[in-house]
């Protein structure tokens, strides 16, 4: 094989299920929460991103093993190995988690389009929902082409942030201190960081993605490497945005109340062009996860009821449509600051996390499911710590909602 052929093969390796998972999670919520955290708390909560990344990688690798070593879908395994009711409850939990993320996607699309063309979230969220519904029910080919264009814009924004961080000149010493866990000034943002970087629903989705890729036991090591690569990309970008925001926005006292505020991060590199590149990137990040996240929720709920697990199944399309319409309605009717709503929407996704994590952990230790590839002791220790962490965050988020 020539060098060009090898390069194409290596690129094909990188663009596996792990990167799809990262693209599903990487939406306006991740960008907004990371920007707001850096602006308000500077480098002090970088540790939360690192912890979330470790937890996310652990469960994503676990789900990848389950998918590679079984022909049945994840929730069908739950139905047969554990209990049918549990499969329904997990499916509903993931559906609600996806709904929280989808509300954020609607707000992100609305913020970007409003900043560029006006019209507000009330206009653009329904417009993009209609487009998504057309793609789901009529044609997926055009979406694949459009998704490639949008993902290219996301990649451009990532490259811009990497270049920009050198121009911004962040404090290396403060970055090092930010990696040490400490009491945060704003717990709500830490919850949102954990929800966006450690999405247990997206981790579980990996089991379906590797099966859709056709990966079996022979691809087990590759699937786990791929899962790790995807999570490193996801959390690396979140940390990079937080560092950039801390270096550029915090010294100016910019608290991130709009998409244009976030765009200021890129001014050291791009000057007046920063606004447009950032807004296009925010739009791309929103749209790249717009349909895939909705399908994730619809697919889990459908599979939880044992009705179907692929986009070709009518039940998946119906539940996906319900999720899209519900999240769009929620994004439109909420009248408070859209940036604040987006942060709360992301934080709310943590509530269903503990149950899904516990189910994955039990499957990860079931020899009937994973044969000799059950969890190693260190994996179980990290997974238990992750469950305790998201349970604690879920409790805090629930108390915040109640009180």
SS3 352: coil
Residue showing tokens 């910019």: 254
The dotted CATH code for 26-402 is 1.20.1740.10
* Between residues 396 and 225, the one the model is more confident about: 225
In the chain, domain spans: 26-402
**Residue pLDDT, tens place only, 79-100:** 999 899 999 999 988 998 888 8
SS3 48: helix
Residue 199: predicted pLDDT: 85
Least-confidence region, from 190-194, 240-244, 323-327: 190-194
**pLDDT grade, residue 15 (50/70/90)?**
low
What is the Cα Rg of the chain in Å? Answer: 20
Token digits for 335?
A: 């009248």
**Residue pLDDT, tens place only, 307-359:** 988 777 899 999 999 999 988 888 888 756 556 665 666 555 666 788 899 99
**Residue pLDDT, tens place only, 221-238:** 988 988 898 888 888 888
| Backbone torsions φ then ψ of 42, nearest 5 degrees | 55, -130
The predicted model gives 188-205 an average pLDDT of 85
Residue 47 has pLDDT above 50, yes or no: yes
Residue 399: predicted pLDDT: 75
**pLDDT grade, residue 3 (50/70/90)?**
very low
**Residue pLDDT, tens place only, 137-176:** 886 655 565 556 656 666 776 777 788 778 878 888 999 9
Token digits for 30?
A: 């991740």
Sign of CA dihedral 284, 286, 290, 294: positive
Contacts of 169 (CB under 8 A, 6+ apart): 247
**pLDDT grade, residue 109 (50/70/90)?**
confident
């Amino acid at each position: 094989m020539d060098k060009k052929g090898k390069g194409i093969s290596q690129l094909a390796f990188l663009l596996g299920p792990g990167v799809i998972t990262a693209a599903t999670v990487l939406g306006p919520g991740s960008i907004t929460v990371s920007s707001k955290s850096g602006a308000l708390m500077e480098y002090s909560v970088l540790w939360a991103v690192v912890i979330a990344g470790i937890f996310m990688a652990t469960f994503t690798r676990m789900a990848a093993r389950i998918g590679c070593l079984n022909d049945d879908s994840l929730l069908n395994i739950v139905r047969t190995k554990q209990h049918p009711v549990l499969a329904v409850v997990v499916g509903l939990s993931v559906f609600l988690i996806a709904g929280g993320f989808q509300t954020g996607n609607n707000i992100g699309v609305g913020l970007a389009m409003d900043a560029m063309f006006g019209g507000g979230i009330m206009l653009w969220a329904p417009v993009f929902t209609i487009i998504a519904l057309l793609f789901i029910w009529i044609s997926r080919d055009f979406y694949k082409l459009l998704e490639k264009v949008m993902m290219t814009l996301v990649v451009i924004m990532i490259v811009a942030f990497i270049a920009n961080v050198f121009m911004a000149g962040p404090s290396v010493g403060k970055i090092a201190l930010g990696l040490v866990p400490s009491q945060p000034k704003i717990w709500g943002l830490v919850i949102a960081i954990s929800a966006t970087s450690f999405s247990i629903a997206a981790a579980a989705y990996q089991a379906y993605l590797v099966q859709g890729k056709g990966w079996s036991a022979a691809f087990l090591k590759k699937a786990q490497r791929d899962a790790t690569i995807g999570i490193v990309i996801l959390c690396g970008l979140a940390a990079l945005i937080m560092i950039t925001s801390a270096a550029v926005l915090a010294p100016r006292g910019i608290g991130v109340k709009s998409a244009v505020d976030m765009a200021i991060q890129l001014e050291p590199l791009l000057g007046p062009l920063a606004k447009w590149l950032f807004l296009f990137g925010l739009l791309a990040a929103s749209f790249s996860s717009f349909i895939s996240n909705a399908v994730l929720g619809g697919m889990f709920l459908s599979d939880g009821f044992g009705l179907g697990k692929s986009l070709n199944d009518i039940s998946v399309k119906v539940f996906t449509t319900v999720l899209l319409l519900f999240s769009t309605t929620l994004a439109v009717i909420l009248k408070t600051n859209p940036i604040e709503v987006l942060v709360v929407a992301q934080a709310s996704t943590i509530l269903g996390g503990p149950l899904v994590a516990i189910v994955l952990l039990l499957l990860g230790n079931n020899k009937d499911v994973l044969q000799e590839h059950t969890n190693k002791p260190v994996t179980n220790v990290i997974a238990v710590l992750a469950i305790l962490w998201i349970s604690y965050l879920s409790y805090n988020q629930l108390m915040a909602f109640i009180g």
